[in-house]
Structure 1
Amino acid sequence: MSRAALLVLADGRFPAGGHAHSGGAEPAVTQGRIRTADDLAAFCRGRLHTTGLTAAALAAAAAHGLDPLALDEAADARTPSPALRATARKLGRQLMRAARATWPSPELDALAAARPRGAHQPVVLGLTARAAGLGPEDAAHCAAYETVSGPATAVVRLLSLDPFHATAVLARLAPELDRVAGQAAEAARHGIDALPAASAPLLDITAEAHAAWPVRLFAS
């Protein structure tokens, strides 16, 4: 297990396209639900314990070696919003390109061939972690961290929020990130049917509205 590989995969500069997505923060800012660092913390906490837990479990399951095609179907079932399903597959396709160039793997090649338009991003993330020699909990940590780091970075741009305050939000969420990653990795040990299906209906609703905006800073 390579801690250096974990740092590379979790680095926001890894060329997987995440910088173009706000994780629902853009509509939340527009609607006035995020105005301060405290609002950002509440938003990230809610996202972490719902869609974040689900994504982390899918990533952990893929890293554990469960069938990626079955996991991709499970991800579809856990993503009720068509806009978010499309986003997850787009991000999965972009991550797949970066992953295959960085850590070539027959498993990644097989999934890319089976899902040429993109598999769900958490599934690709888990397989990428597996190709990099990382374990299920590492994959879960990456997925959980992405769940909150994306909105935090986006809000700095959307609100001109002090980046020190945004980083402090992430740092204070660290114990909860660890717990969510541990829960996700434990669920992955019990098979696909045991994976959590936590959701955030408001994120689903605002994602559909956001996808129809004629002008937006972020893709999602």
Structure 2
Amino acid sequence: MSRSALLVLADGRFPAGGHAHSGGAEAAVKAGRITDAADLAAFCRGRLHTTGLTSAGIAAAAALGHDPYELDAAADARTPSPALRAAARRLGRQMMRAARSVWPCADLDALAAAFPRGAHQPVVLGVAARAAGLGPEDAAHCAAYEAVSGPATAVVRLLGLDPFQATAVLARLAPELDRVAERAAAAAHAGVDALPAASAPLLDITAEQHAAWPVRLFAS
């Protein structure tokens, strides 16, 4: 395992398109559910243990080499919102472009050919992690971190929240991030049928509402 490769893949500046997505935070801010750092912490914790856990499991399974068709179908089944499915595939396309430039390999080429409109982002993330020489728990850590770092960064822009406070939220979630990644990787080792399927219905509902907004700062 290369710690440097893990840092590159998890870096928010990795050009995988995540900066354009708020992870549901924009809708939560507009609805008044996020107004300060404490609200952000609660939002991120809930997201981590639902969609974050689910994405981490799929990414870990892809890093292990499970069938990408099966994993993409599993991701579809775990994403009831059409808006979020579309966003996941857009992010998958962008992740694919970045990963093939940084870690070119036959597995990424095959995945791109199999899903010309984009596979779900956690599937691409897991294959990219494997191409980078990383393991399933590394891929799970990346997915879990993305699930909370995106909203934290977005809220700084949406509310003008002190970035030190937003970063402190992420730092205090670190032990839970580790546990979620470990749980996700363990499930991936047990097979696709054992992958987490935690849901967050409010995120699905607000994602559909957000997609219909005529003006918004983030794509999702």
TM-score category by the smaller chain?
over 0.9
Other-structure match for 2:7:
7
Other-structure match for 1:72:
72
Displacement after TM superposition at 1:68 (Å): 0.9
Other-structure match for 2:85:
85
Mapping for residues 23-42 of structure 1, pairs under 5 Å: 23-42=23-42
Other-structure match for 1:181:
181
Other-structure match for 2:146:
146
Displacement after TM superposition at 1:69 (Å): 1.2
CA distance in 2 between counterparts of 1:155 and 1:39 reads 10
**TM-score normalised over the length of structure 2:** 1.00
Q: How many residues align?
A: 220
CA distance in 1 between counterparts of 2:93 and 2:141 reads 20
CA contact (8 A) 1:148 1:170 kept: yes
Provide runs of 4+ in structure 1 moved above 3 Å: none
**TM-score normalised over the length of structure 1:** 1.00
3-state SS of paired residue (2:216): coil
Query: Alpha-carbon deviations, 1:51-97, whole Å to 9, x = none?
Result: 00000000000001101111001100000000000000000000000
Mapping for residues 40-189 of structure 1, pairs under 5 Å: 40-189=40-189
Give the counterpart letter for 1:19 in structure 2: H
Other-structure match for 1:193:
193
CA contact (8 A) 1:69 1:111 kept: no
CA distance in 1 between counterparts of 2:2 and 2:128 reads 13
Structure 1 unaligned runs (5+)?
none
CA distance in 1 between counterparts of 2:98 and 2:169 reads 28
Give the counterpart letter for 2:194 in structure 1: A
Displacement after TM superposition at 1:104 (Å): 0.6
In angstroms, what is the RMSD of aligned CA positions? 0.3
3-state SS of paired residue (1:33): coil
Query: Alpha-carbon deviations, 1:93-125, whole Å to 9, x = none?
Result: 000000000001111111100100000000000
CA distance in 1 between counterparts of 2:190 and 2:137 reads 14
CA distance in 1 between counterparts of 2:108 and 2:75 reads 17
Displacement after TM superposition at 1:162 (Å): 0.1
3-state SS of paired residue (1:189): helix
Displacement after TM superposition at 1:173 (Å): 0.1
3-state SS of paired residue (1:34): coil
Query: Alpha-carbon deviations, 1:159-198, whole Å to 9, x = none?
Result: 0000000000000000000000000000000110000100
